[in-house]
Amino acid sequence: MFDTMTITKVLGAVCGSLLVFLLGNWAAGGLYSMGGGHGGDETQAYSIAVADGEPSGTAAGAEAGPSFEEVFASADPAKGEKIFAKCKACHHIDGSNATGPHLNGVVNRAAASVADFHYSEAMQALAGESWEPARLDAFLTSPKAFVPGTAMSFAGLPKIEDRANLVKYLETLQ
């Protein structure tokens, strides 16, 4: 059935295929490399000057919009319920815990206060502080930036309207 010539052919085909893939990887790495070339010296090709001297994506650019309190005053809980779909994978609203603690009554609740949930050390450090709407807004913007070391892997909600609608929806869950 299998003689030495057949085994040699199969082994040669496997090794040849690996060499083709390695060569393709090497060629693609050379063509599409993001590295700085010889010595890793990278320079920016051009820069765009901004009138106030600050790049447009920084805090000064973010301050131009309405405040969270203004957006929260006119927030829509129905839209927040749709946004909550992103949270459902880890949080329940039926009083039971999942990967994350349940979110019933989370607005104005003390941080790290769900008795039968094991919080990360970073979140336990917030114990005694309250989840007021403005603090929830800051947390939902970037959980890892607001609570460094948190176990929550969610990247955050960049739109202030989405955060306000979500917090308004969470406020209805008492």
**Averaged pLDDT for residues 71-87:** 93
- Predicted local confidence at residue 29, as pLDDT: 83
Distances (CA, A) of 33 to 29, 30, 160, 168, 173: 5, 6, 36, 46, 50
- Predicted local confidence at residue 61, as pLDDT: 46
Judge whether 118 lies within some domain: yes
**Averaged pLDDT for residues 63-83:** 90
How many folded domains does the chain comprise? 1
What count of residues does the chain have? 174
- Predicted local confidence at residue 79, as pLDDT: 95
Q: Please check whether residue 136 is in contact with residue 146, taking contact to mean a CB–CB distance below 8 angstroms.
A: no
What domain range includes position 150? 68-171
Judge whether 18 lies within some domain: no
| pLDDT of 108 strictly over 50 | yes
Judge whether 19 lies within some domain: no
- Predicted local confidence at residue 41, as pLDDT: 53
Judge whether 82 lies within some domain: yes
**Averaged pLDDT for residues 148-172:** 93
**Averaged pLDDT for residues 71-79:** 94
Judge whether 99 lies within some domain: yes
Judge whether 162 lies within some domain: yes
**Averaged pLDDT for residues 42-69:** 62
pLDDT greater at residue 28 or residue 38 = 28
**Domain of residue 125, CATH code:** 1.10.760.10
Euclidean distance between CA atoms 107 and 131, whole angstroms: 5
Per-residue pLDDT tens over the stretch 123-134 = 999 988 999 999
Judge whether 102 lies within some domain: yes
**Averaged pLDDT for residues 147-158:** 90
- Predicted local confidence at residue 58, as pLDDT: 47
Judge whether 37 lies within some domain: no
Query: What confidence category does residue 42 fall into, taking pLDDT thresholds of 50, 70 and 90?
Result: low
pTM of the model: 0.63
